[in-house]
Structure 1
């Protein structure tokens, strides 16, 4: 595939970790890339290696609405299209719910929830109104498999809920799809440079505390995820004609998500009588949902 006919990817958070690996994999595959980050100078080496016809580096703080709009405008001017958007920018906050301040939690939400929300809004408009009619585009939102970072769990539940809603709103004719990526642990710089560790709350300062145990595990257990392999998997996933709503990257992520899903099913079956008892008399919920789905097919 020549670079002039390749897809155009706009990727956030490309200075390190998965974002950096993705940019390198995409360029090696002759895709075209708008690599965005807060410090564009980190890509000087890539800019010297790849032509401007293939790589555009843009300054972007995902909490800045004007910079978001400017990044898409630059992509339009430079490449004339954007085909794939990857919301990857982010960092970790490690701490108990009672330990993490509102300011810390809200700051993380600005980056990893409202950032992707506002970027996705711009992506939808671009896919629909700038790209050729029906060409559409794809949005990949990088979530997580979960773990013990409690504020991050709340954050990623919000991001995943937003992604589900956005996908359901898209008209089929627009050909706009979205997918949630749930990576497991990555062996990158994040544990040292991209994670804020909040001191343990006094009420949880106990060897039996789940959060204390998780903190210890996080510092000692090697991460088994390979960022380059994850980037390659994402590139392949973009070729799928119909994207799944969620994909787990990493066997440990797959195991964790499957365990959660199975427990949800088990609980639903165990408390089915409670669930059914809340309907109006004589209403069959399953038949009711089938009628709604048929009516809206």
Structure 2
């Protein structure tokens, strides 16, 4: 992991789940790490576990442009530059579209898509100067629309398309742009998922114990950054979903419907 020694790595949404696992992994690899989140207490607790190590924390709502600029400005003031940006902060939803308020979908889009755009915009000059890496933590929902997650899928499709455009623009700059689709990974994102009214569900309909751990996911992401990959799709289920949707879309419709619905009701 000497690849990351003294590199400045920015991870949004680093107080729990995949984000926290990434912060842990990069610090252990010798990087200087900056992370943000909305809950300062969780960030402070994270920082307290690494006394003496270069970990910068900042209370940030990535759906707000000014917050993102203040965060990136803080990173530059603390570390002077940025080599790697991982846009990990995200929120999900669980409600069929007919029962979802438009504000719920708007909120998901603001966090997942605009949060990625804002942070990347302000960090871009430093990353391109260093010929570094920009990562978007996306989802299988960015390849295949998932029922009950219409706003989430829309935001991740947007992230994938936007990053692909950015990658093409930066192709001759030496900067790598990559999007990661973890598949079903154990994290807090389903517990924090919004219901139709835009409130946190506080529970998960999935069996988290059978999913890839956040730590394993983080290890795959670090390896992909080292190899400067274009995309990373994780888990067998995730790879199968992408394959089926590409080559057998009508069958994928039926299989996805069967997985998420029972007796006409959304159960997952």
Query: TM-score under structure 1 normalisation?
Result: 0.73
More displaced 10-residue stretch of structure 1: 147-156 or 161-170: 147-156
What residue number does 1:198 align with? 196
Give per-residue Cα distances to partners, 1:245-268, cap 9 Å, x unaligned: x2112221111112222236x9xx
C-alpha contact (below 8 Å) 2:109/2:154 kept by paired residues: no
Count residues in correspondence. Answer: 240
C-alpha contact (below 8 Å) 2:83/2:126 kept by paired residues: no
The separation in 2 between residues aligned to 1:144 and 1:2, in whole angstroms, is 28
Give per-residue Cα distances to partners, 1:79-119, cap 9 Å, x unaligned: 12211111111111111122222111111111111111111
Q: Does 1:255 align with 2:250?
A: no
What residue number does 2:131 align with? 136
Structure 1 residue 49: deviation in Å? 3.7
C-alpha contact (below 8 Å) 2:36/2:43 kept by paired residues: no
Structure 1 residue 38: deviation in Å? 1.2
Give per-residue Cα distances to partners, 1:222-243, cap 9 Å, x unaligned: 4412100001111111111x42
What RMSD over aligned residues (CA atoms) do the two structures have, in Å? 2.6
What residue number does 1:243 align with? 229
> Any residues of structure 2 matched to 1:216-231 within 5 Å, and which?
219-222=205-208, 223-231=210-218
Query: TM-score under structure 2 normalisation?
Result: 0.81
What residue number does 1:65 align with? 65
CA gap of 1:49–1:153, structure 2 versus 1, over 3 A, is: closer
Larger gyration radius, structure 1 or structure 2: 1
Structure 1 residue 2: deviation in Å? 7.6
Give per-residue Cα distances to partners, 1:133-170, cap 9 Å, x unaligned: xx222111111112332221122111111111111111
More displaced 10-residue stretch of structure 1: 118-127 or 79-88: 118-127
Q: Does 1:105 align with 2:91?
A: no
The separation in 2 between residues aligned to 1:75 and 1:219, in whole angstroms, is 37
The separation in 2 between residues aligned to 1:127 and 1:29, in whole angstroms, is 19
